[in-house]
Amino acid sequence: MNFERIPRVTRLLDPRKDYAETRIESEMRMDPLTGFSGRIAHFAAGPWPTMDLEALNQTSLSQGCPFCPDMVSKVTPKFPEEITSQGRFRQGEAIVFPNLSPYDAHSAVTVITKAHLVPVNEFSAQHWEDALGISIEYFRAVRHYENHIGYGLIGANYMPMAGASLLHPHLQIYATDRPGNWLKSQIEASQRYYNEHAHIFWQDLIEAEKSLEERYLASTGTVEWIVPFVPLSFIGDVEAIFPRRFTILDLTPEDIGAFSQGLLYILRYMKDTNIYSFNLAFYPGQSEGDRTWVHARISFRGMINPVLHSPDVSVIRQLLDEPFTTVYPEKTATELKPYFSSL
Ligand SMILES: [Zn+2]
One pLDDT digit (tens) per residue for the chain, 343 residues: 999 999 999 999 999 999 999 999 999 999 999 999 999 987 666 678 888 999 999 999 999 999 999 999 999 999 999 999 999 999 999 999 999 999 999 999 999 999 999 999 999 999 999 999 999 999 999 999 999 999 999 999 999 999 999 999 999 999 999 999 999 999 999 999 999 999 999 999 999 999 999 999 999 999 999 999 999 999 999 999 999 999 999 999 999 999 999 999 999 999 999 999 999 999 999 999 999 999 999 999 998 888 888 889 999 999 999 999 999 999 999 999 999 986 5
Per residue, the 3-state secondary structure of the chain, as one string, reads: CCCEEEEEEEEEEEHHHCCEEEEEEEEEEECCCCCCEEEEECCCCCCCCCCCHHHHHHHHHHCCCCCCHHHHHHHCCCCCCCCCCCCCEEECCEEEEECCCCCCCEEEEEECCCCCCCCHHHCCHHHHHHHHHHHHHHHHHHHHHHCCCCEEEEEEEECHHHCCCCCCCEEEEEEECCCCHHHHHHHHHHHHHHHHHCCCHHHHHHHHHHHHCCCEEEEECCEEEECCCCCCCCCCEEEEECCCCCEHHHCCHHHHHHHHHHHHHHHHHHHHCCCCEEEEEEECECCHHHCCCCEEEEEEECEEECCCCEECCCHHHHCCCCCEECCCHHHHHHHHHHHHCCC
With beta carbons less than 8 A apart as the criterion, state whether 324 and 27 touch.
no
* C-alpha 112 to ligand 1 mean position (Å): 10
Q: What is the pLDDT of residue 235?
A: 92
Residue 329 and residue 236 in contact, taking contact as beta carbons nearer than 8 Å: yes
Instruction: Answer whether 170's CB lies under 8 Å from 154's CB.
Output: no
CB atoms inside a 10 Å sphere around CB 204: 15
Distance (angstroms) between ligand 1 centre and the Cα of 60 equals 8
Could you tell me the distance, in angstroms and rounded to a whole number, from the CA of residue 168 to the centre of ligand 1?
5
pLDDT at 44: 65
CA of 92 to the centre of ligand 1 (A): 16
Asked if residue 301 lies in contact with residue 164, where contact means CB atoms within 8 angstroms, the answer is no
- Spatial separation of the C-alpha atoms in residues 199 and 188, rounded to whole Å: 14
The domain limits of the chain are 33-343
| Cα 294 to ligand 1 centroid, rounded to whole Å | 31
Q: What spacing in Å lies between the alpha carbon of 167 and ligand 1's midpoint?
A: 7
Q: What is the pLDDT of residue 47?
A: 76
303 Cα to the center of ligand 1, angstroms: 24
The CA-atom distances, in angstroms, between 198 and each of 121, 184, 192, 203, 291 are 42, 20, 10, 11, 10
pLDDT at 45: 65
Task: Give backbone dihedrals phi and psi of 157, rounded to 5 degrees, phi first.
Answer: -115, 105
pTM of the model: 0.96
Neighbours of ion ligand 1 (CB under 5 A): 65, 67-68, 116, 168
pLDDT confidence of residue 42 = 74
- How far apart are the CA of 214 and the centre of ligand 1, in A? 40
Q: What CATH class does 33-343 carry?
A: alpha beta
Which candidate, 193, 168, 212, places its Cα nearest to that of 67?
168
pLDDT in the model for residue 252: 98
